Amino acid sequence: MKIAVVGAGSTYTPELVSGLSREREAIDVSELVLHDVDAERLDVVGSLAQRMLLHQGFEGRLESTGELDRALDGADFVLIQIRVGGQEARFQDETVPLACGCIGQETTGAGGLAKAFRTVPVVLSIAEQVRERAADGAWIVDFTNPVGIVTRALLDAGHRAVGLCNVAIGFQRSFARWLDVEPARLVVDQVGLNHLTWVRAVHLDGDDVLSQLLADHGDELADELELPHRLFDELGAIPSYYLRYFYAHDRVLAEQLGGTPRAARVMEIERELLEQRGGAFYSEAAVGLVRSLASGDGAVHEVDLRNAGTLEGLADDDVVEVPARVERDEITPLPQEPLAPELLGLVQHVAAYERLAAQAAEQGDLAVARKALLAHPLIGQDELAGELLEPLLAQREAPV
């Protein structure tokens, strides 16, 4: 089996490569190809990956290349983790909205639209080359943000694709540590849209232990998510960290206006710690998903895919983030109870935005982009949309 990693200059890549090597009996990887347009970063990451594979006794072939065609030729899985425009573009995504009095975040709200506008055309171009050059039936696994919008664009274009995020696996690992159990025994029932999800149940060997976790560790969760414990009890669910931008909007905005943009901090970290930074569970989530698709082990993974009736109140072609059972070449969402009104209303609102954002990014349509800003609950005003549109999309032709 050949696996290609596009955007392999990412600091997540060494952990990803190491995980694929450890799972080589289940995945049977014979060839790993790392691709990036940044030769310097690729050299650093590729050299580290090579040392890790040698240490693990990997007998397959590892190649680093700046030629996309070479990376994709005959690939069975293509993992895409690119950042179009780099951290400099992220800095714009996070600061332009702040100047207009809006939340500055690279995947949520106005910054997410700018990122989608830059990213979707590039990912679709890569996907077309996957269609032409990869093995028949090859899977595209996307962890390129904004994952929900990018995955929707891929599926709209008819590609065999699934989206992946690390929020659910992060919860799973924390819960397993608190319960002193192996993570594989836990299924985190996290539902919604990418970066707009709630954990409504946590199944330990089939039994829901969410109430126990909230009782024993609710204050700890509240500190980590920077939301009140009371809110979790009232919702009967644990919101993802990204719900802070909605549930604590004014406080977060004030913090952002008085602080250092996250992009600036990340740029400094990457300069100093490229060879040391871990994968924040992205690698484990990706390796697990590839393993299940290749081996048909039937494990449950949190993925982004078509709704197809999974969540009532959303269109079948909306892209939702839910737990799904993964067999060989087949992904089936677990059945879900309807969302409570206080969750469904927000999800419907943002799903409408994502539909418009994907369309705008695919077509390069500024009028539709303006509608997307109007549809988003963190913006939603005509003057704001007009003020944001030009500076937000100034970076849309930034290089990969």
Active-site residue numbers? 242
Query: Which has the closest alpha carbon to 350: 117, 146, 199?
Result: 146
Query: Which has the closest alpha carbon to 281: 299, 252, 302?
Result: 302
CB 183 within 8 A of CB 172: yes
In 240-357, DSSP assigns E strands to 300-306, 319-327, 330-333
Strand-pairing partners, residue 161, are 140
Question: How far from the centroid of its chain's Cα atoms is residue 181's Cα?
Answer: 26
Helix H or strand E segment including 235: helix 229-235
Is there a cis peptide before residue 377, judged by omega within 30 degrees of 0?
A: no
3-state secondary structure of 332: strand
CB 106 within 8 A of CB 263: yes
CB 91 within 8 A of CB 263: yes
Helix H or strand E segment including 65: strand 61-65
